[in-house]
Amino acid sequence: MPARRLTRVMWMALALWLPLAAHAQPREAESAYEGDEPRLLARLHAEPRGAERWRVGVELVPDPGWHLYGRDPGEVGLPPRIEWQLPGAHFGELEWPAPIRFHDASTGIESFGYDRPVLLAADAVVPGGARELAVSVDALVCAHLCLPAHFELAAPLDAAAVPGDRATPRASAAQYLTAIALGWLGGLVLNLMPCVLPVLAIKLTALAALAERSRREQLAHAAAYAAGIALSMLALAAVVVGLRVAGTSVGWGFQLQEPGFLLAICALLVAFAQNLFGAFEIAVDASRLGAIGSHAPGAARSFFDGLLAVALATPCSAPFLGTAVGFAFASPAPVIAAIFLSIGLGLAAPFALAAASPAIARRIPRSGEWMSPLRAALGGALLLTAAWLLWVLGRVSGAAAVAPALVLLLAIAAACWGIGIAQRGGRALSGVAIAALLAAMAAPGIVVIRRAPDARARPEAPAIARARAYSAERVRESLAAGRPVFVYFTADWCLTCKVNERALADRRIEPELERLGFDVYRADWTRRDPAIQRALAALGRAGVPTYAVYTPAAPGHPHLLPELLTADLLLDALREVETAKRDW
């Protein structure tokens, strides 16, 4: 057995026999670990739920860089043990939130647990009047080594308990509604992000083409577009929930870390661009669109435009969106679905509003010759987007994947022209024939890409020259040495990140960082990185860009900057550190 693994197992065994007692405190207590040792915070919560019914729970909060184990810890680890102590009371089964997966690269060990606050709660029936609930808690907190912790907590159970003594840190209904509203606003603002503008422009052009058609047809296209977005967002929410249940933590834009997804979106963009160039037409039988009340033969195209909008929007973050998505990723499955759906409805709102409002519809110019160069320009924009994603594919899978992907995309473009020739000749190709043709051409490229060496592309020069690669340990070392820290989370597939890096590269930033003694770290999330995912989750964010300023005076409370960054905003945040230096 490797020495590191043996050491960890020995500490786990000690946890069973040598619990360290902490001072008992009502409703809240901290472990006895202080100074350079890890510290685990435990809180006891209790909330009345009716006659003799209570919701009780223990909240465990590990320090950054440390983690607890779940009910099924995996190859190693011990789950927290909670013993309720109240004569005559009946306690229900303890509820365990979905854990995340930890992988130790040096030993190959996989385990499951929590690296952020977790609430272990249960329902209780407590007969009688005012009583005192006591609870004994044993837990194992681990990082490079594992140490045991023991708590003895107590809290009075009084029928007149104040609402603040809540059994769970669950959000209130107002907080849920606020997160849903922020999601809608974030989706609305996404329409102004560079990644979504090509699709929005295409949809507004489509409205111009529909200007002479009936209101029913216009509304059918708007409904199809909104349905494509809504179903895509719900599917994305289902994937997130499924991965979380499986013990895998993901974040906003996680699919852009997968080469197969990048290749599929590139192919879709190339096909849509060929359609805009007039190479072929996308049309369906009007009778098949009755489900959305349509007699418009192109509404299916609007549905697929909605799918494309979601695919291009998810790498982006925007004002309001980061808060809403961070809230969603820390919430139960129904809340994730509700917030994702609200983001989708916000994304669909401009086109739906333009289609539904007669006043706006009247202002849209009628279709004519002016649309031909516009369609060509929009097709070019989609090809540029495909080229950008092809570059991202090279960053994710290595340069060896780019050549076969490019061959595949050229073959798809040729197939689109072939389909157009058949359409203009009056020979209809069935959907099965088209799918078979594309699959036959796609297979060789996919095989080559899957066999491409899994080599990281050479890292780009950071926007801030003095930036080093991020690690939680480096951040802790900098703060322990009394130096403030600036961490920027970025990814090659995040266009908002690339726009913001112009602000980071402003000539005023580097001298100010040096003057104030900052250590700068760049967290590159282009490829999946569990450590960066955990760091984002600890900040309450689910995606990039994220910008955090840490000070030695309050290392656990970083200052988060907006998703849309300017050099002046960053300078103001850095200069605020000067006023806090006296507290270090």
Per-residue pLDDT reduced to its tens digit, 65-75: 888 988 888 87
Pairing between strand 485-490 and 519-524? parallel
Q: Is the pLDDT of residue 259 over 90?
A: no
Non-local CB neighbours of 430 within 8 Å, separated by 6+ positions: none
Question: Which position has the higher pLDDT, 583 or 46?
Answer: 46
**CATH number of the domain that residue 84 is part of:** 2.60.40.1250
Pairing between strand 519-524 and 468-469? parallel
- Among 213-227, 270-284, 313-327, 430-444, where is mean pLDDT lowest? 430-444
- Angle ∠(317,320,324) on CA atoms, nearest 5: 90
Task: Give the SS3 label for residue 541.
Answer: coil
Gyration radius of the chain over CA positions = 28
**CATH number of the domain that residue 540 is part of:** 3.40.30.10
- Given 405, 423, 451, which residue is the final one in a domain? 451
Residue for token digits 């933590």? 249
pLDDT score recorded for residue 453: 45
pLDDT score recorded for residue 535: 84
Token output for 229: 């977005």
pLDDT score recorded for residue 296: 42
What whole-number distance in Å separates Cα of residue 554 and Cα of residue 550?
A: 7
- Given 424, 451, 478, which residue is the final one in a domain? 451
Non-local CB neighbours of 32 within 8 Å, separated by 6+ positions: 20, 21, 22, 23
On the CB side of 76, CA atoms within 13 Å amount to: 27
What whole-number distance in Å separates Cα of residue 338 and Cα of residue 234?
A: 8
Encoded amino acid at 128, one letter: G
Instruction: Please give the mean pLDDT across all residues of the chain.
Output: 75
pLDDT score recorded for residue 487: 96
Same domain for 198 and 327? yes
Residue 140 within any structural domain of the chain: yes
Number of domains, the chain: 3
Question: Is residue 159 very low, low, confident or very high in pLDDT (cuts 50, 70, 90)?
Answer: very low
Residue 458 within any structural domain of the chain: no
Task: List the beta bridge partners of residue 560.
Answer: 548
Q: Single out the residue of 490, 503, 496 nearest to residue 547, CA to CA.
A: 490
Task: Answer yes or no: are the C-beta atoms of 477 and 422 closer than 8 Å.
Answer: no
Encoded amino acid at 64, one letter: P
Got the DSSP string for 97-117?
---EEEEETTTTEEEEEESS-
C-beta atoms surrounding 579 within 10 Å? 8
pLDDT score recorded for residue 6: 39
Residue 137 within any structural domain of the chain: yes
- Average pLDDT of the segment spanning 42-51: 79
- Among 44-53, 384-393, 450-459, where is mean pLDDT lowest? 450-459
Q: Is the pLDDT of residue 152 over 70?
A: yes
- Average pLDDT of the segment spanning 375-395: 85
Same domain for 376 and 474? no
- Average pLDDT of the segment spanning 341-355: 87
Token output for 440: 């036959």
Residue 64 within any structural domain of the chain: yes
Pairing between strand 146-157 and 559-560? unpaired
Same domain for 7 and 78? yes
pLDDT score recorded for residue 434: 59
Question: Which position has the higher pLDDT, 94 or 460?
Answer: 94
Q: Is the pLDDT of residue 28 over 60?
A: no
Same domain for 208 and 343? yes
- Average pLDDT of the segment spanning 372-392: 84
Per-residue pLDDT reduced to its tens digit, 191-209: 777 666 666 666 666 666 6
Residue 184 within any structural domain of the chain: yes
- Average pLDDT of the segment spanning 481-507: 90
pLDDT score recorded for residue 549: 94
In Å, what is the CA distance from 411 to each residue of 271, 310, 387, 406, 452? 11, 25, 15, 9, 20
Q: Is the pLDDT of residue 386 over 60?
A: yes
Sheet of 118-125: strand order equals 28-30, 40-50, 53-62, 118-125, 90-91
Task: Answer yes or no: are the C-beta atoms of 467 and 524 closer than 8 Å.
Answer: no
What whole-number distance in Å separates Cα of residue 564 and Cα of residue 507?
A: 19
Task: Answer yes or no: are the C-beta atoms of 22 and 152 closer than 8 Å.
Answer: yes
Q: Is the pLDDT of residue 87 over 60?
A: yes
Share of the chain above pLDDT 90, in %: 13
b/e sequence 401-433, b meaning 16+ C-beta within 10 Å: bbebbeebbebbbebbeebbeeeeeeeeeeeee
Q: Is the pLDDT of residue 286 over 70?
A: no
Question: Which position has the higher pLDDT, 317 or 346?
Answer: 346
pLDDT score recorded for residue 514: 92
Q: Is the pLDDT of residue 325 over 90?
A: no
Q: Which of 93-97, 210-214, 316-320, 428-432 has the highest mean pLDDT?
A: 93-97
Q: Which of 415-424, 446-455, 487-496 has the highest mean pLDDT?
A: 487-496
Per-residue pLDDT reduced to its tens digit, 393-425: 888 887 778 888 888 888 888 888 888 887 777
Residue 193 within any structural domain of the chain: yes
Dihedral sign, Cα of residue 562, residue 563, residue 569, residue 575: positive
Encoded amino acid at 7, one letter: T
Same domain for 474 and 559? yes
What whole-number distance in Å separates Cα of residue 310 and Cα of residue 228?
A: 9
The continuous run of DSSP H or E covering 354 comes out as helix 333-356
Same domain for 426 and 473? no
C-beta atoms surrounding 19 within 10 Å? 18
Share of the chain above pLDDT 70, in %: 70
Per-residue pLDDT reduced to its tens digit, 290-302: 343 334 445 777 8
Residue 165 within any structural domain of the chain: no
Got the DSSP string for 439-495?
HHHHHHHHHHHHHS---PPPPPPPSSTT-EE--HHHHHHHHHTT--EEEEEE-TT-H
Same domain for 367 and 479? no
pLDDT score recorded for residue 165: 34
Greatest alpha-carbon pair distance for the chain in Å reads: 86
b/e sequence 336-354, b meaning 16+ C-beta within 10 Å: bbbbbbbbbbbbbbbbbeb
Encoded amino acid at 199, one letter: V
Same domain for 146 and 180? no
Its domain, for residue 104, covers: 3-157
Question: Is residue 120 very low, low, confident or very high in pLDDT (cuts 50, 70, 90)?
Answer: very high
Sheet of 81-85: strand order equals 81-85, 131-142, 146-157
What whole-number distance in Å separates Cα of residue 375 and Cα of residue 377?
A: 5
Question: Which position has the higher pLDDT, 163 or 383?
Answer: 383
pLDDT score recorded for residue 350: 84
Per-residue pLDDT reduced to its tens digit, 508-517: 999 999 999 9
Residue 518 within any structural domain of the chain: yes
What whole-number distance in Å separates Cα of residue 541 and Cα of residue 326?
A: 4
Question: Which position has the higher pLDDT, 546 or 216?
Answer: 546
Same domain for 198 and 78? no
Task: Answer yes or no: are the C-beta atoms of 564 and 496 closer than 8 Å.
Answer: yes
Same domain for 503 and 529? yes
Same domain for 290 and 425? yes
Question: Which position has the higher pLDDT, 153 or 298?
Answer: 153
Non-local CB neighbours of 457 within 8 Å, separated by 6+ positions: 394, 395, 396, 398, 399
Q: Is the pLDDT of residue 446 over 90?
A: no
- Given 451, 484, 501, which residue is the final one in a domain? 451
Question: Which position has the higher pLDDT, 507 or 170?
Answer: 507
Non-local CB neighbours of 391 within 8 Å, separated by 6+ positions: 492
What whole-number distance in Å separates Cα of residue 186 and Cα of residue 199?
A: 17
Question: Is residue 11 very low, low, confident or very high in pLDDT (cuts 50, 70, 90)?
Answer: very low
- Average pLDDT of the segment spanning 543-558: 86
- Among 33-37, 151-155, 260-264, 477-481, where is mean pLDDT lowest? 33-37
Same domain for 198 and 340? yes
